[in-house]
Amino acid sequence: MSEISPVSISRTVTLRLVSIAAAALLVLAFACCFLVNEAEHVLVMRFGKPMRAIEQPGLHFRLPVPLEHIVRIDKRLQHAEIRLSETLTRDQRNVIVPVFFTWRVQEALIFHTSVRDFEPARQKLDALITSARNTMLGRHDFADLVGDERIGASIPALEKEILTLAAADAAQQLGIELITTGITQIQLPEANTESVFRRMRSERKREATQYRAEGRAKAAEMKAETDKQATFLIADAKREAEELRGKAEAEAAAVYATAHGKDPAFYRFLRELQSLRTVVDKNTTVVLDTSVAPFHWLKAKEGDGNPVKPIEMSAPSAPTAIIIDRNP
């Protein structure tokens, strides 16, 4: 048999030692390294006591177990609702106002030392938000919950008030950031429902009366303005009509004057006919003296170019006439 040389033995031992050292380093690396993702906080615990909180995602190091170990805490948004319970408004009305809330872990060290887990955290948040809701309702009347936003507080304002009251305690005591709080509905105990409905009907009737009164006042204002404008328009139209009528009468007088100057006899004849048209119509019986103008034209024969001349009187006098009107 061939003997193994000391060099070979030394080389084999060296390789074994290197392999053991590499394996030990690999095991140590696995024991001391850990990854943190973006959806979690990590607490490094030394002998059960939290030493530091890691929020930055990536590769981090710690001492190997049992010297140090890690606790992972989810930092994603959580959603929950408080338990149903009755409470009083400022005007002593019993109401049931369920509230939902969203939250996440902000300070991992405070969260771990105060509640450690999510279920106790939900219970403590339930108590905090219930207290904030009761405080908020104690500051407002029932009408603020169901009335018009222009008169009382709006629902978003009430939700913000709950969030403001509870957020500081949640951050200081639990290391939790409250993101939102919201009112899901407003319920009434059975005994209060009818009285609330009566009050709501009364409020709606009052608002309707107010709107009708405002509408009537607006209508009266619009009508007054319209009448005012109509008066101005009518006055302008009458003024323009009078101006046109004056111009027309002036032109007519000028025409009459021209015609009278050209043929006075013919002009007098037309004026006498106009007088007859004014006095006599088809339903009128007239008994008159035909010797007086203009009635002497009634005595003229057809085709006779020389009408009977009226009797000349020393002084103007009204013609003698008896008129019987047969109009109904």
pLDDT tens per residue across span 92-121: 888 889 999 999 998 888 898 889 889 999
Residue 15 lies in a domain: yes
Instruction: Single out the residue in 153, 188, 223 at which a domain terminates.
Output: 188
pLDDT digits (tens, 9 = 90+) for 205-238: 888 999 999 999 999 999 999 999 999 999 999 9
**Beta carbons of 316 and 276 less than 8 angstroms apart:** no
Q: Judge if 52 and 133 occupy the same domain.
A: no
- The answer as to whether 109 is a domain residue is yes
Span 4-16, average pLDDT: 70
Radius of gyration of the chain (CA): 56
Pick 160 or 20 by higher pLDDT: 160
Report how far residue 143's alpha carbon sits from residue 149's, in angstroms, rounded to the nearest whole number: 10
In a domain, 242, yes or no: no
E strand segments, 129-266: 176-183
Summarize the confidence of residues 2-10 as an average pLDDT.
Answer: 64
Looking from the CA of 163 toward its CB, the CA atoms found within 13 Å total 17
Say how far residue 299 (Cα) sits from the centre of its chain: 88
On whether residue 310 sits in a domain, the answer given is yes
Residue 68 sits in the same domain as residue 85: no
Beta bridge partners of residue 80, listed in sequence order:
101
Which candidate, 115, 222, 135, 229, places its Cα nearest to that of 176? 115
Does one domain contain both 60 and 102? Answer: no
Distance (Å, rounded) from C-alpha 267 to C-alpha 272?
A: 9
Helix (H/G/I), strand (E/B), else coil: 81 = strand
Q: Structural domain of residue 37, as residue ranges?
A: 6-74
Q: What is the pLDDT of residue 64?
A: 74
Residue 169 is predicted with a pLDDT of 92
Query: 259 to each of 49, 101, 154, 245, 264, how far by Cα in Å?
Result: 131, 103, 88, 20, 8
SS3 of residue 151 by DSSP:
coil
Structural domain total, the chain: 3
* Contact (CB, 8 A) for 104 and 177: yes
121 and 170, same domain (yes or no): yes
pTM higher than 0.85 for the full model? no
Three-class SS state of 9: helix
pLDDT of residue 3: 57
SS (H, E, C) 145-168: HHCCCCCCCCHHHHHHHHHHHHHH
Q: How many CB atoms lie within 10 A of CB 101?
A: 25
Q: Which residues pair with 86 in a beta bridge?
A: 96
Residue-wise pLDDT for 136-188, tens only, equals 999 888 888 876 655 556 888 889 999 999 999 999 999 999 999 999 888 87
Question: Which residues face 40 on adjacent strands?
Answer: 74
Which of 40, 74, 108 lies at the terminal end of a domain, its last residue?
74
Same domain, 183 and 106: yes
Is residue 267 situated within a structural domain? no
Residue 209 included in any domain: no
Q: What is the pLDDT confidence band of residue 313, given thresholds at 50, 70 and 90?
A: very low
34 and 109 in a single domain? The answer is no
Q: What is the pLDDT of residue 272?
A: 75
- Within a domain: 61: yes
**Are 131 and 44 part of one and the same domain?**
no
Lowest average pLDDT, out of 231-235, 257-261, 293-297, 303-307, goes to: 303-307
72 or 297, higher pLDDT: 72
Least confident segment among 83-87, 175-179, 199-203, 248-252: 199-203
- The encoded tokens of residue 243 equal 């101006």
Q: Do the domain assignments include residue 228? A: no
Query: How high is the pLDDT of residue 288?
Result: 67
| Domain identity same for 25 and 97 | no
Compute the CA torsion angle 273, 278, 283, 286 (nearest 10 deg). -70
Single out the residue of 154, 179, 156 nearest to residue 166, CA to CA.
179
Range of weakest confidence among 42-51, 140-149, 185-194, 295-304? 295-304
Q: Are 284 and 326 in contact (CB under 8 A)?
A: yes
**pLDDT at position 30, please?**
67
Could you tell me the CA-to-CA distances from 89 to 65, 97, 193 in Å, in that order? Answer: 56, 11, 15
Last residue of a domain, one of 26, 59, 74: 74
Under the phi-then-psi rule, with left for phi > 0, alpha for psi from -120 to 50, and beta for the rest, what region is 50?
A: beta
